[in-house]
Structure 1
Amino acid sequence: MTDAIILLVPAEEHEAAVEPLRLAAPNLTVVPVTHRSQLDAAVSHYPMARLLAFCTPVIVPADILSRLPGPSYNLHPGPPEYPGLHPAVFALYDNATAFGTTLHEMTPDVDAGRIVATNRVDLPPDMDRLGLEILSRRMAHHLLRSLAEDLVDVATPLPPMEITWARAARRAADFDALCRLPPDVDEAEFRRRLRAVGEGPYHALRVPLFGRWFRLEPEHPDALVVKAGVAVG
């Protein structure tokens, strides 16, 4: 009998992600973990648990999934059109007019399992990356709260929807390619990529010239990142 939920979640999201699950089932054990080593230990201790991943960069390997009764679930901070890394970036690059988050069954392939729930909102035309990342986290928490009672019913799988992923999951190489500007880039393409990629602090648009790479200096040196749905330095 499943006796717990193992919640794989970034450390800054622990409290907000655990709360709706414990409110829905106060007597159910919820085990938050952040790193692969913690996940492995939790699965060994709770071999009949339900695994729920929430907006985590950790890729759960097939051997861990096979040790659990399943299905395990992942809450992806993007809609089915944008599986994989940086869904907000690629949505902005495509000038998407809507965005959302997705709960799906986990498989050894990233963001490829059956979809069980989504939410969606329209995007204003002036949305930038920081704003969309903040919105994405808020929508992910909203979806988690709305599904908490179903998720804590650990003996009952969530029914899949008749929605499929639109493409293969994007990876780090796809984001890196978007950051590499062609030497003959025009202003429209430059601005399109800058809106999508944003400014650091851990990345920058760059262009090859004369055998060297030139990186775009941030207009705002104190660039912000998103943690737990808010912008921080």
Structure 2
Amino acid sequence: MSILFIGKRNDPYTDDAADTVGQLFENAVVIRLARGERLPESVTSWAGDWLVSYLCPQVLPGSLLERASLGAINFHPGPPEYPGIGCTNFAIYNGEKEYGVTCHFMEPQVDSGGIIEVSRLPIYEADTVYTLTRRCYAYQIRLFHEVMHRILAEGGLQPNGLQWQRKAYTSRDFRELYTITPSMSEAEIARRTRAVTFPGYPGPELLLHGKRYVLQELNRPIPTDG
């Protein structure tokens, strides 16, 4: 089988997945991208059996998905209830008790293709966006290994009948989540702050008289890819 793997640059989980692809498939092309980096020209002429997206930091064009004869699949760091970006943030904000990771077929519309497999994990009371995200990635790489070996053993994949539960969260939704205003209650501000705190990044933004002020002592998260 021939496979095109596209993942995130400088990410240990993507490195693990890419190494696995190289070991399992003789005819493998591996591409790693940083956020905002364009697909290399060589990819535009690729055609083969499987296209695999793993924490890919950009939406892949439909023309590329069509050139995977057996399937184009993505490993999304969220369950069917949380398609799109910033999924761990919204799950923390909504007070969920359970989360998950999803393997699904790709369509041009983000996180809308047939679901192949879902792996569930608990959300603990003490979880933060950081701890949930790290645990989510550990579940996701395990699911990746399971699906890749299933492809080798069975030759193909089929949707399992599960459905996405809502439209994908967008960058606009994510920006709204980390915006706080003076009119919000103390509880709502605390809830949003917890949902958008991630080590090493600026905090939520205060919207005041039409201007935005970043709260530097807190930490804004990176929206999860997939």
TM bracket, shorter-chain basis: 0.7 to 0.9
Note if 1:4 corresponds to 2:8. no
Q: In structure 2, what is the equivalent of residue 180 of structure 1?
A: 179
1:42 equivalent in structure 2: 43
5 Å-filtered alignment, 1:159-174, equals 159-174=158-173
2:50 pairs with 1:79: no
Match of 1:231 in 2: none
Alignment match, 1:28: 26
Q: What residue ranges of structure 2 are gaps of 5+ in the alignment? A: none
Q: Give the alignment's TM-score, normalised by structure 1.
A: 0.84
Size of the aligned set, in residue pairs, is 218
Across the aligned residues of Structure 1 and Structure 2, the Cα RMSD in angstroms comes to 2.5
Equivalent residue runs for 1:123-138 within 5 Å: 123-138=123-138
Amino acid at match of 1:4: S
| Structure 2 residue aligned with 1:156 | 155
Alpha carbons 1:18, 1:32 under 8 Å: kept:
yes
Q: Deviations over 1:5-49 (max 9, x none)?
A: 1111012234211233344x3x522221124423x52352x4123
Return the TM-score normalized by structure 2. 0.86
Runs of 4+ in structure 1 displaced over 6 angstroms?
Answer: 223-227
The residue that corresponds to 1:65 in the other structure is 65
Change (3 A) 1:165 1:51: same
What stretches of structure 1 of length at least 5 have no aligned partner?
A: 228-233
Q: C-alpha displacement at 1:202, in angstroms?
A: 4.5
Q: In the alignment, is the contact (CA less than 8 A) between 1:20 and 1:144 conserved in 2?
A: no
CA contact (8 A) 1:59 1:110 kept: yes
